Amino acid sequence: MIKWLISLMMVCSLSVTVSACNPDGSLKNTENTVPEPEPNPDPTPEPVTGNGMFDLSKGENGNPPSIRLSSGYDMPIIGLGTYSLHGKVCVNAILSAVKHGYRKFDTASFYGNEEEVGEAIRTCGVPREELFVCTKLYPNQFADAEKAIEESLRKLNIGYVDLMLLHHPGAHDVEAYKAMERAVEAGKIRSVGVSNYYIREMTDFLPQVTIKPVLVQNEIHPYYQEKEVVRFMHENGIVIEGWYPLGGRGYTATMLGNETIGRIAKAHGQSPAQIILRWNLQNGVVIIPGSSNPDHQKENISLFDFELSPEEMAQIAALDRNEKHDWY
C-alpha cells in the first residue's frame, strides 16, 4: 500500500511539472515549449555606428541605399542640393530628380527657395513619407528661432521637416538648437543637426544640447577632405554630409579636369564627377550634388555599377590640398 501511494505521488508530481490546463480543463504540455517569435523590426537599413561606412552593395543606379540616423529615421545617402535653384527652375529640377530616383532634397531659409521646394514635393506624385527634406536656420534667425522654424514650416507646407540644421555657428546657436529640439518633441521636425561645425565647435557644442545632432553638413571634396573631421563624426555616430562635393562655384571645372581623377574615370568608363561622388560614398560621406540638368542628375545618382579600388581611393586621397572653396 505504501509503495502504491509513493508511486501515485511521483506520477502526480511529474504531471504538475510538465502539464498545464487548457481552457476546457484538459492538460497540455508546456515544458520545452518554444515561445512565439517576436516580429522582426524593419531589417533595413542598419543604424549608423562605429566607422560610419555605408553598405553600398545595397544600392542600384537610380535607387541609392538609405542609412538609419540616430533619431531612428532613414535617409538616402544621395540627395539633390538646391542652393542655386529658384522659381520654376527649382520646381522642375526637383520633379526631374524624382523621376531619376532622388528622394532626398536639401534647402535652407538662406537659399530663398523653400516655397518652390515645397511645391515640388507636394506635386511630384511620390507619397510624402517616401521623401526626405532638409532645411536650415541661418544665424540671423537664431535669436528668434521658434519664429524661424514656423516660417520654414509655413513656406515648405509639407506637414513636417525631416531634418533641420543650424546653417553654421553663430550667436545664440545653442538656444536655436534647443528650439529645434522642442519642435522635435512637438512632431514638427523629425531630426536635427548642424552644418559647418568642425571638431572644436562640436566638442564645445555637444555637452550643451539634449539631442545629439544626427548629421553634420560640411564642405568636403578631393581638394578639401577633412579626414580628421570625418573620422571624428563617424566615431561619435554622427553622419557626415558633404556640400560642394564637386568643388563648388568656380572650381568644378578645374576639379573635373584633374589628371588623376580623369585617368581613374577612363579606367572605369565613368565620368570624373561620378568618380568623385563614388569616392565620397566609399569614405562614408553623404552627398548632395546640385543640378537642374536631367542628364547630370541621372549621372550623379548612377554610382553603383562600379567600385574604386583601394589604390584608386589612395590616389584621390593624395589630392588633398586643404583648399577650402567657401568661407564657412
Residues recognised as catalytic: 111
- Picking from 138, 107, 193, the residue whose alpha carbon sits closest to that of residue 328 is 138
Residue 262: how many other CB atoms lie within 10 Å: 14
CB 102 within 8 A of CB 82: no
Question: Are 281 and 248 a contacting pair, CB within 8 Å?
Answer: no
The Cα–Cα gap between 186 and 184 comes to: 5
- CB within 8 Å of 8: residues ≥ 6 apart: none
Q: What span, in angstroms and rounded, lies between the C-alpha atoms of 131 and 114?
A: 15
Check if the beta carbon of residue 232 is closer than 8 Å to that of residue 193.
Answer: no
SS3 72: coil
Is the CB of residue 317 less than 8 Å from the CB of residue 123? Answer: no
Q: Are the CB atoms for 59 and 68 separated by under 8 Å?
A: no
Q: Kindly give, in sequence order, each residue whose CB lies less than 8 Å from that of residue 14, ignoring residues fewer than 6 positions away.
A: none
| Whole-Å CA distances, 170 to 49, 141, 174 | 29, 10, 9
CA neighbours closer than 13 Å in the CB half-sphere of residue 69: 23
Nine cell digits for residue 78: 544621395
